[in-house]
């Protein structure tokens, strides 16, 4: 890589040619305030003007997030002119901002407040008219409040980058500009996947999950049997809410916290994941041997399901009919568990903790109802669980390590744990499919071919006892589109495909802890590049620690089929554990 010589604050440095001023300064130990970046100088539109610096060879001040370094350039960050310009930029943003910080859900994690403190911005320096406000809370998943938007464009860039979509965009011009779906519609009336990726990059509280903490509080007040179940990816992120390094597995402390919050039973959704593999693996084998519709596509990710219903409604017969793991487990709780415990299902309130905002929408689907009752009553994100624990005054880092409740359900295998990583559902399914086709366990346990935390496409062909199984894995709908177009054109060679909506899988879900270096004092500078890898490692490590690592060997799953369901894909299993999907109108969204 070619190098150039520059000076920063009068000190000489050699940096890589082609870097932006911000990237070069960061590499040399200088952190320039910024709002428009979310990955080491990767900028959306250079619109916030918070990162202005002086540089020789330029005309006045330049936005360091986009302006490239050049040989001999001298950069000044702390000159009175640059300091005042950055402060003024922040004060102008604050002048059109809803400054009810004490009421904002993003308080403590707000990047605008962070740069205001750094730049010394005086809140009320500019006063006057404000842009007309839109508040959208019509979906169960995401709320949008334009009074808190700084027009940085990060959400727009994230939607396009992750999914190749333009659900969000700039609307109107000048003082009347807002960010939202086309024609400033509600998310409810747009082809939004509700995945929440936009909420993870929003620097303020303009985009947030719809909180369901009040629903949980009401269930306790009403004297319900409040049962909580937690998805595998949550344990790889929850520790970040309490300043633990990213990738710290906190399963035992998390269970201890749940008990102290008063939940009657604390279960792991990994049990539901093992159940999903039994149903989905059997469904796949049935399609392969009986000439069913192939390739079969996994159905665990509700963001992906939303994408399929909006954009590929003609391919829905390729999607597995299995409910997602937490919905399966909720159905079992309100049927088998309720019967065994002698509790009326109407008195049971099931709470799922998910790394996902789309799960909030998923639980509202009319198809996901068992005996007249929703399988799941409330969904909390990882962030919401963190808020609940803090509200209760629990010192998370001092909690003991405790175990999940093990009555009737709760036991799980290593296969279930890795559901939270892209490729994990595929790998878990292959461990069981291999056994079903050969009568033997796969000796290596792991299928390296489908591992990898980055978004993109991975593929492999496996010869299992004379049967060739062609597989593919993709996360992020930008990658999924390539494989779906092949299916639509009749060119797909695959038998089985796993799609995860969020790039990297659930470890990078829209409900996970915010990842921003200024709020993570214990992390290295490269954390925005490595956080998915670190979270994934936490789950793979737990898989390796499990004595039983194949779903079909979970003793509680075996007992469930023997005592209640009969066998995978039985009539009762279909009633409780399977569902349907339907194409949805896209409201003539612009493409």
Q: Quote the pLDDT of residue 517.
A: 67
Neighbours of 14 (CB within 10 A): 10
Predicted confidence band of residue 525 (pLDDT cuts 50, 70, 90): low
What length does the chain have? 591
Q: How far apart are CA 204 and CA 222, in angstroms?
A: 35
Region 556-580: mean pLDDT is 96
CATH C-level class of 3-89: alpha beta
Contact 62, 85 (CB under 8 A): no
Give the percent of the chain with pLDDT over 90: 70
Is the per-residue pLDDT at 104 higher than 50?
A: yes
Region 228-246: mean pLDDT is 94
Q: Quote the pLDDT of residue 437.
A: 85
What number does CATH give the domain 214-577? 3.40.50.1780
Q: What does the DSSP assignment read for 322-384? A: BPPHHHHHHHHIIIIIHHHHT--GGGEEEEEEES-SHHHHHTT-TTSEETTEES-SEEEEHHH
Q: Quote the pLDDT of residue 448.
A: 67
Region 372-388: mean pLDDT is 97
Which residues pair with residue 62 across a beta bridge?
53
pLDDT tens string 170-228: 999 999 999 999 999 999 999 999 999 999 999 999 999 999 999 999 999 999 999 99
Is the per-residue pLDDT at 278 higher than 90?
A: yes
Is the per-residue pLDDT at 556 higher than 70?
A: yes
pLDDT tens string 281-307: 999 999 998 999 999 999 999 999 999
What number does CATH give the domain 95-209? 3.30.70.20
Q: Quote the pLDDT of residue 546.
A: 79
Nearest to 305 by CA among 295, 290, 315: 315
Q: Quote the pLDDT of residue 543.
A: 82
Span of 41-50, 208-217, 531-540 with lowest mean pLDDT: 41-50
Distances (CA, A) of 133 to 49, 94, 459, 505: 23, 15, 47, 34
Is the per-residue pLDDT at 236 higher than 70?
A: yes
Q: Quote the pLDDT of residue 39.
A: 47
Q: What does the DSSP assignment read for 58-86? A: SSSEEETTTPBP-TT-EEESSSHHHHHHH
Q: What does the DSSP assignment read for 305-328? A: HHHHHHH-GGGGGGB--BPPHHHH
Neighbours of 462 (CB within 10 A): 18
Q: Considering the chain, what is the average pLDDT of its residues?
A: 91
Domain boundaries, the chain: 3-89, 95-209, 214-577
Residue with tokens 């390796």: 544
For the chain, the distance separating the N- and C-terminal CA atoms, rounded to the nearest angstrom, is: 38
Is the per-residue pLDDT at 400 higher than 50?
A: yes
Q: Quote the pLDDT of residue 500.
A: 93
Contact 358, 193 (CB under 8 A): yes
Residue 353 CB partners (closer than 8 Å, separation 6+): 228, 229, 230, 231, 234, 379, 380, 381, 382, 384, 385
């Amino acid at each position: 890589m070619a190098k150039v010589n520059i000076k920063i604050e009068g000190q000489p440095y050699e940096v890589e040619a082609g870097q932006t001023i911000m990237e070069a300064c960061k590499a040399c130990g200088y952190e320039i305030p910024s709002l428009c970046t979310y990955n080491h100088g990767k900028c959306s539109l250079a619109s916030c003007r918070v990162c202005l610096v002086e540089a020789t060879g330029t005309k006045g001040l330049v936005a360091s997030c986009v302006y490239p370094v050049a040989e001999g350039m001298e950069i000044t960050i702390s000159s009175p002119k640059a300091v005042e310009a950055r402060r003024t930029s922040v004060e102008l943003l604050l002048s059109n901002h809803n400054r009810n910080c004490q009421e904002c859900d993003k308080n403590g994690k707000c990047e605008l407040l962070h740069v205001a403190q750094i730049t010394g911005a005086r809140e009320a320096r500019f006063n006057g008219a404000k842009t007309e406000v839109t508040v959208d809370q019509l979906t169960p998943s995401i709320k949008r409040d334009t009074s808190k938007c700084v027009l940085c464009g990060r959400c727009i860039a994230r939607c396009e980058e992750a999914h190749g979509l333009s659900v969000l965009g700039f609307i109107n011009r000048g003082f009347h500009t807002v960010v939202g779906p086309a024609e400033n519609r509600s998310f409810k009336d747009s082809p939004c996947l509700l995945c929440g990726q936009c909420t993870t990059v929003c620097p303020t509280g303009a985009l947030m999950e719809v909180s369901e903490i009040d629903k949980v509080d009401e269930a306790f007040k009403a004297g319900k049997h409040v049962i909580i179940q937690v998805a595998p990816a949550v344990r790889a992120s929850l520790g970040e809410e309490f300043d633990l390094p990213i990738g710290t597995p906190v399963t035992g402390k998390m269970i201890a916290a749940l008990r102290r919050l008063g939940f009657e039973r604390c279960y792991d959704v990994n049990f539901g994941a093992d159940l999903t593999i039994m149903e989905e693996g059997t469904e796949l084998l049935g399609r392969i041997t009986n000439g069913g519709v192939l390739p079969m596509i996994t159905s665990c990710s509700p963001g992906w399901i939303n994408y399929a219903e909006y954009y590929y409604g003609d391919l829905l017969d390729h999607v597995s009919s299995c409910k997602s793991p937490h919905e399966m487990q909720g159905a079992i709780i309100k049927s088998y568990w309720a019967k065994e415990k002698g509790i009326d299902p109407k008195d049971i309130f099931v709470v799922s903790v998910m790394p996902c905002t789309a799960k909030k929408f998923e639980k509202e689907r009319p198809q996901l109802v068992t005996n007249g009752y929703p399988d799941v009553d409330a969904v909390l994100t990882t962030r919401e669980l963190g808020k609940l624990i803090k509200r209760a005054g629990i010192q998370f880092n001092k909690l003991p390590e405790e175990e999940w409740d093990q009555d009737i359900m709760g036991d799980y295998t290593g296969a279930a744990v890795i559901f939270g990583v892209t490729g994990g559902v595929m790998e878990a399914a292959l461990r069981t499919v291999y056994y079903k086709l050969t009568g033997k366990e796969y000796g290596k346990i792991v299928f390296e071919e489908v591992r990898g935390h980055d978004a993109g496409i991975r593929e492999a062909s496996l010869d299992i006892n004379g049967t060739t199984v062609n597989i593919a894995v993709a996360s992020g709908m930008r990658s999924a589109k390539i494989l779906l177009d092949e299916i639509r054109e009749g060119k797909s060679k695959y038998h089985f495909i796993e799609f995860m909506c969020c790039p990297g899988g659930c470890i990078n879900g829209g409900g996970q802890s915010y990842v921003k270096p200024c709020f993570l004092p214990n992390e290295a500078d490269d954390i925005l590049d490595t956080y998915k890898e670190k979270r994934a490692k936490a789950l793979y490590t737990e898989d390796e620690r499990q004595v039983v690592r194949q779903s079909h060997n979970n003793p509680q799953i075996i007992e469930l089929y023997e005592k209640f369901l009969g066998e995978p894909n039985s009539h009762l299993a279909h009633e409780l554990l399977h569902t349907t999907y339907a194409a949805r109108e896209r409201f003539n969204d612009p493409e």
